[in-house]
A and B are shown apart, each in its own frame.
Chain A
Amino acid sequence: MTALPWREMTRLTARRALSAVPVLLVVTFGVFAVAAASPFDPVKAYAGTAALGADQETLDRLRENLGVDRPFTARWWDWLTSALGGDLGRSTVMRQPVAEVIGERLVWSALLCAVAFAVAVLLGTVLGVLAARRPGSLLDRTVTSLAYALEAAPVFWIALLAVWLFALELDVLPAGGLTDTGSDRVTFGQVAGHLVLPAGVLAVSQLPWFTLYVRQGVGDALAEDPVRGARARGLSERSVLLGHALRSGLLPVLTLIGSRVPELITGALLVETVFSWPGIAAATVEAATSVDFPLLAALTTLATAAVLAGNLLADLLYGLIDPRVKLNEM
């Protein structure tokens, strides 16, 4: 392995960070515009049932205190400037600052997504290679049809059935949460046990896409000249498959890994909700159900940033793995 092209990588990262600025500006602006068009009234939400008996003057004062009497562009600008200082507002549903909510929950979501994605990548590669080895064989057809069926199955449905099977019928895994009820300490063993089902389901939801792409990539590579050349030289099947076909077949797949972040977030939204996993995706759903705008706005922005980071990662990987690609031309 040659030395990494740090200079080019840093330059690409810096360029992407710069181009992320307008994207995030537009997205946050859009978020505030949608909220402004919404019939939902933040004052009534804040005051709750107390708003029913309150007179107009009190409501107006509350509106002024909450700062929602001004046009949404001004509120957007205020939010933006204070967000740069680390103040994202206060979440009404969690009753704590938004930044704190994110800080507490981000690590659990990251853990869940990382484990699930790693499992999906490993398992997907194995299954994809096995399927591509003998196209049309029983194994290939089984893997392919299973992949299509799983791709069509809604992830929350799989999650519920998994809860039923593993937590209720077999009673081998906990049905949800981060730790057992009644235990207030977060230990490694507890978390690992509670992680298996959600991470497994999330991995299964990402698996079909990965398996099918690896199968396609390796299958195409097996029909190409370098592989035929390797076969003609009498290399072992193993080194043909793993050394030649897999290496060139995985290339297009690796570059797409980073672009799977949106699907991963979508999956996490549903899986965390089913398993009451205390991550930010579950918090997003809670924020949405109780129209907690500050939290929702911050989490939407965060997700957008994650997607952009994923795209950058994809391009960096592409440039590192494929010698034909020049990072400074991206």
Chain B
Amino acid sequence: MADTTAVTKTKTKTGPGAGPAWRAHGAARRSTHTLRLRISATLVAVTVLAVLLVPPLVRLDQQAVDLAAKLLPPSWSHPFGTDDVGRDLLLRCVYGLRVSLLVGVVAALAATVIGTAVGATAGALGGRADRVVMRLVDTFSSVPHLLLGVFIVAMFRPGVWPVVVSVGLTHWLSTARIVRAEVLSLRSRPHIDAAVSGGASRWRVGVRHLLPGVLPQAGLAAVLMVPHAMWHESALSFLGLGLPTHTASLGTLIQGARGSLLAGQWWPTLFPGLFLIIPTLAVAGLAGVWRERINPRRRSELTL
């Protein structure tokens, strides 16, 4: 029972007093809102389209080595410049983003499935099972994410799958907590009581009444997790523990550019990083709008 009170407590915290009383109001608020939505949506769309369309449509080899054109600064023919063996960095970045995004999406999906399953089971079963599961979640979260990821990858590398597994296994905790809290708050709603007293089976209540209520939150968590997973993958790759160099991700690109950076060439480092930041901000912007739709009263700050 203590858990449900905890949930209601956090709910009441977002009452009118804590609300957006001091932020922009009315039309001003709505216009920044739509602007943010438009910019974020455009950036996400451009990212996804670039990643999907450039490889099949642009007939250029990202691995084309041209030593005569090595380490050229940004120019019209090479907007991002070239790397230490003369490969075009714009093309390399797009391909790197493709790898990073793919790893990010798969890992985020895995984490969301694990998190939703664990959280929903804990919330729906309640009692001792819930306590044991949540204690395990707490234990898991006392190991820093990146450290656990580094450990898993160190033991199973090299390859793409160790990275995906390591990121997926370290990111399901927050989803599990969110889903569990949502299930707990749903369980006390009248329509669930009605379904139970109407004789619906446990399974039916779970699938027909609990799951639809949980999905928006889980989906939001999944979307927000993609940039997180991308960040994680690039950090692992940067440490030299991530993807093998022939499947270059953004992290691998930054790692590979360290030599040229120390020789004074900044562009091979700068642009892959920007390719990580922009999708992250765009997804955060989209998710912020989404969150306000599904829960208008909750604060929209601080979830990147």
Contacts and interface: CB of A to CB of B under 8 A. Distances in A.
Contacts of A269: 146-147, 150, 239
Contacts of A168: 261-262, 264
Contact of B304 (A26, A39, A148): A148
A10 interface: no
Contacts of B264: 164, 168-169
A192 interface: no
B120 to A, nearest CB: 23
Interface residues of A, number: 59
B23 A154 contact: no
A163 B227 CA distance: 25
Contact of B146 (A37, A39, A175, A266): A266
Interface string A10-38: 00000000000011001100010011011
A160 B271 CA distance: 12
Q: Is the interface of B mostly helix, strand, loop or mixed?
A: helix
A291 B254 contact: no
B253 to A, nearest CB: 11
Given A161-B270, A219-B22, A285 B301 contact: no
A64 B100 CA distance: 42
A154 B147 contact: no
B184 interface: no
Q: Is the interface of A mostly helix, strand, loop or mixed?
A: helix
Contacts of A65: none
Interface stretch (A77-85, A193-201, A302-310): A302-310
Nearest to B277: A152
Interface string B123-157: 00000000000001011011111111011111110
A222 B18 CA distance: 10
B284 A23 contact: no
A157 B144 contact: no
A9 B238 CA distance: 42
Contacts of A163: 261-262
B49 interface: no
Identify which of B239, B266, B272, B281 gathers the most chain A CB atoms within 10 Å of its CB.
B239
B254 to A, nearest CB: 6
Interface string B238-260: 11110000000001001001100
B269 interface: yes
A289 interface: yes
Interface in A130-153: 135-136, 148-149, 151-153
Nearest to A144: B301
A164 B143 contact: no
A160 B270 CA distance: 9
A170 to B, nearest CB: 12
A27 B142 contact: yes
A60 interface: no
A270 interface: yes
B86 to A, nearest CB: 21
A223 interface: yes
Interface of A: 22-23, 26-27, 31, 34-35, 37-40, 135-136, 148-149, 151-154, 156-157, 160-161, 163-164, 168-169, 175, 209, 212-213, 216, 219-220, 222-224, 261-263, 265-266, 269-270, 273, 284-285, 287-289, 291, 296, 299-300, 303-304, 307-308, 311
Interface of B: 17-18, 21-24, 28, 136, 138-139, 141-148, 150-156, 227, 231, 234-235, 238-241, 251, 254, 257-258, 261-262, 264, 266, 269-270, 272-273, 276-277, 280-281, 284, 299, 301-302, 304
Given A224-B17, A296-B151, A307-B143, 9 more contacts: A34-B151, A152-B277, A160-B257, A164-B269, A212-B302, A270-B235, A288-B150, A289-B241, A303-B147
